[in-house]
Structure formats: structure tokens, C-alpha cells
């Protein structure tokens, strides 16, 4: 075991036990999820962040690739009270620094009180507090990661469920989780996954029944191409979105987004559906929120803890979005029917088949 230091914005340095060596910097956030570490670590929405697990033991059921949401680990570094050897081996194999044996209650309390903050990490035989402080010094604010979409998106368009008979989905990949694509393909959709900066002509070429904006890391203000795409399509094509997708859709329709103090990350965030009065448990991972939905969207679901918008519907256009993660990986499966609703919206817009009248 080696030395490990975590330098927090403001200069406070916490000492821990080094498990996977290296230096890193990023926005310090925490998740309260007590399982699902494989899904969280491979969720592209954690790009440029340092993930603290508030649950004290991480790795107790091993590491299995079939649970991965993408092909790599996205947080820049990982902090937990206790990491198992299995998970450390995985982090080490991808050069992701890891620290344990520190009081994560202190880290979480700091983030809750001060908000998500920059941090610097140094782990290794000769690591020093100054190395961690030097990383902190170089850490950018999340909103300054203007090219973050490029870091996580596909380079070329790919197609999933090509042999399916259902709806055609044009999914804009701003850092999509694999289980979102799987949820659509399992419902017989053909999903064309486009780079985050796809043009209207690219998307038009597949004649989509619905334009779907994915989840993804960073500030929605840094995804102007996707915002423009929504504006161009929304009059004629149904639009759906998850998490970053909800934020992008709101920005495209005259709404605004803002940074939250420390965000929502966990698997037991209660959400109230304003029409049915039903509360569902949801899985979440976001640090921004829709501040004002604008004139073309209405809030249909809210977070029970802080009233922030969790679901939006179009008032003038066919639009449906969620701030939480209905694909529920990890998470309770209360919300999977979102994908049925999206495909129903898409079906409704499909012009009736022309039947020969002979």
C-alpha cells in the first residue's frame, strides 16, 4: 500500500491509503448508491469527475464486463472507505488512481456543504501532499470542459437492432450508456447512434421516427450542435431525452439550465408524477438541472427532495424527457416504461401506411 493524498478546493489535504497509483484531477462528487459500482464507473457522464462512494464497501460482488455501460472507466479517480482487490485491479488496469481508508463521511459532508468542488489526487510510493495540490491547481471548472462531448461520443455513426421491425431512432451520443440503447433495441427499435455534433443532414438520412438525445458529462451549454439539432427537428419529429438530453432539449426550446450545489447521484431519488400522484424511486447522476423549461415544455414530474424538474412534456410539440435514468442500470426498475412512452410518441407521428384502394 502506498501514500495517497486528496487536495480539496480551498487547500485542505486529506490523507488515505493508495490502492491504484497515479495523479488525477477533476470535479469531486459523491454517489450514495450502495450497489452498481461497475455501471457507475463505466457511465460516461462521470467523465472529468472524481467519484466518491458514500457506501463504505465497494467491490464486494466482483467485476463483470456484462454490467459495463461503456468500454472504459470514466471518473478520473475513485475514493471509497474500502475497495476490494477485484475492483482495485480493474482500476489499476485502466490507470485510474484509487484511494481508500479515509473517512468518506468527511468528504461527503464537505461536498454537501460547499458543493461539488475541484480536487487533485496523488497516489504512489513517493506521492506528496504538494503533488495533490499541484493537480488541484491545474483542475478546470466543469463548465470549462468545452470539448467534453468529443471525449465520450462515437466517432462514426453505428446502428443497433438493424433487423428490428419497430421504430427508427436517431440517438445523438453525448456519452450514452449502453443500456439506453439496449432498452430501445429490446423494444424492437432500430437505433442509429450519431456523434454528438451530427448535422441535420446526417440525421435526416435515416428518416427517424424519433430524435433521442442521450445522457452525457459536463455542462449542457457545451453541446450547441445537439441543441441546434433539436431546434431543427422538433416541429416535424418527436424528440426525447435522458438526463443531459433533458437539459439540451430544454435549452433548444427556450429554457435555461443551471448548476446544482452538489447534484443528485444515487439509486433512491424519489420522483413524483404530477398527474398520477405516484412516487417512483429513480437512479440519478447529474450536477446540472433545468432552471426554467421555457414556453414550450411543461414539468410533469418533480424530485420530492428539492422540487427540481424530473420530467418534461412538450406543450406544442411531441417531446418527452427525463432527468433521471429510466434504464435503471444500476437502479430500481420503476421507470422502464419511459421507453415504451418514447416509442409510442414516435409511432403516433408515423404517417398512416398507404393502403392500395383497388
Ligand X SMILES: NC(=O)CC[C@H](N)C(=O)O
Torsion of CA 300, 219, 242, 335, to 10 degrees: -70
Q: C-alpha grid cell for residue 33?
A: 448508491
Binds ligand X by CB under 6 A, chosen from 266, 287, 293, 309: 287
Comparison of 22 and 220: residue with beta carbon closer to ligand X: 220
Contact pattern from residue 229 through residue 248 relative to ligand X, giving x for each residue in contact according to CB under 6 A and a dash for the rest: --------------xx----
- Is 119 annotated in the active site? no
Binds ligand X by CB under 6 A, chosen from 18, 149, 216, 293: 216
From the candidates 48, 243, 296, 310, give the one annotated as an active-site residue.
243
Comparison of 19 and 177: residue with beta carbon closer to ligand X: 177
Work out whether 168 is an interface residue with ligand X (CB under 6 A). no
CB contact at 8 A, 175 and 194:
no
Comparison of 90 and 324: residue with beta carbon closer to ligand X: 324
Question: 52: closest CA among 3, 94, 102?
Answer: 102
Comparison of 23 and 31: residue with beta carbon closer to ligand X: 31
Work out whether 288 is an interface residue with ligand X (CB under 6 A). yes
CB contact at 8 A, 265 and 29:
yes
- Is 327 annotated in the active site? yes
Q: How far apart are CA 261 and CA 65, in angstroms?
A: 33
Question: 16: closest CA among 75, 76, 79?
Answer: 79
Binds ligand X by CB under 6 A, chosen from 21, 120, 149, 218: 218
Phi, psi torsion values for 352, nearest 5 degrees: -60, 145
Beta strands in 150-220, from DSSP E residues, in sequence order: 158-160, 168-173, 190-195, 210-213
Helix (H, G, I), strand (E, B), or coil: what is residue 149?
Answer: helix
Tell me the binding residues: 45, 216, 218, 244, 247, 285, 287-288
Site for ligand X, rule CB under 6 A? 45, 215-218, 243-244, 285-288
Residues catalogued as catalytic: 243, 325, 327
Which residue ranges make up the annotated binding site for L-glutamine? Answer: 45, 216, 218, 244, 247, 285, 287-288
Amino acid at each position: 500500500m502506498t501514500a495517497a493524498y486528496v487536495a480539496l478546493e480551498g487547500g485542505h489535504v486529506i490523507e488515505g491509503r493508495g490502492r491504484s497509483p497515479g495523479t488525477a484531477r477533476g470535479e469531486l462528487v459523491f454517489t450514495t448508491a450502495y450497489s452498481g459500482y461497475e455501471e457507475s464507473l463505466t457511465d460516461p457522464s462521470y467523465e472529468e469527475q472524481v467519484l466518491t462512494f458514500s457506501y463504505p464497501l465497494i467491490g464486494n460482488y466482483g467485476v463483470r464486463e456484462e454490467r459495463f455501460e461503456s468500454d472504459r472507466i470514466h471518473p478520473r479517480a475513485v475514493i471509497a472507505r474500502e475497495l476490494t482487490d477485484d475492483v482495485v485491479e480493474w482500476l489499476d488496469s485502466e490507470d485510474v488512481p484509487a484511494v481508500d481508508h479515509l473517512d468518506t463521511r468527511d468528504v461527503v459532508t464537505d461536498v454537501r456543504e460547499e458543493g461539488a468542488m475541484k480536487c487533485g489526487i496523488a497516489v504512489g510510493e513517493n506521492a506528496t501532499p504538494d503533488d495533490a495540490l499541484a493537480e488541484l491547481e491545474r483542475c478546470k471548472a466543469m463548465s470549462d470542459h468545452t470539448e467534453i462531448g468529443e471525449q465520450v461520443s462515437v466517432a462514426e455513426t453505428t446502428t443497433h437492432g438493424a433487423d428490428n421491425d419497430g421504430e427508427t431512432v436517431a440517438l445523438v451520443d453525448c456519452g450514452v450508456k449502453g443500456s439506453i440503447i439496449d432498452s430501445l433495441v429490446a423494444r424492437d427499435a432500430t437505433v442509429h447512434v450519431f456523434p454528438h455534433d451530427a448535422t441535420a443532414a446526417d440525421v435526416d438520412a435515416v428518416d427517424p421516427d424519433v430524435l433521442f438525445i442521450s445522457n452525457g458529462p459536463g455542462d449542457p451549454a457545451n453541446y450547441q450542435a445537439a441543441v441546434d439539432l433539436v431546434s431543427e427537428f422538433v416541429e416535424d419529429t418527436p424528440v426525447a431525452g435522458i438526463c443531459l438530453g433533458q437539459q439540451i432539449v430544454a435549452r433548444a426550446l427556450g429554457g435555461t439550465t443551471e448548476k446544482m450545489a452538489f447534484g443528485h447521484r444515487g439509486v433512491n431519488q424519489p420522483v413524483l408524477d404530477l398527474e398520477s400522484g405516484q412516487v417512483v424511486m429513480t437512479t440519478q447522476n447529474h450536477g446540472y438541472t433545468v432552471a426554467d423549461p421555457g414556453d414550450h415544455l411543461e414539468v410533469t414530474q418533480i424530485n420530492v427532495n428539492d422540487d427540481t424538474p424530473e420530467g418534461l412534456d412538450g406543450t406544442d410539440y411531441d417531446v418527452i424527457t427525463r432527468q433521471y435514468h429510466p434504464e435503471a442500470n444500476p437502479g430500481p426498475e420503476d421507470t422502464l416504461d419511459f421507453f415504451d412512452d418514447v416509442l409510442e410518441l414516435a409511432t403516433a407521428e408515423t404517417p398512416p401506411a398507404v393502403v392500395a384502394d383497388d
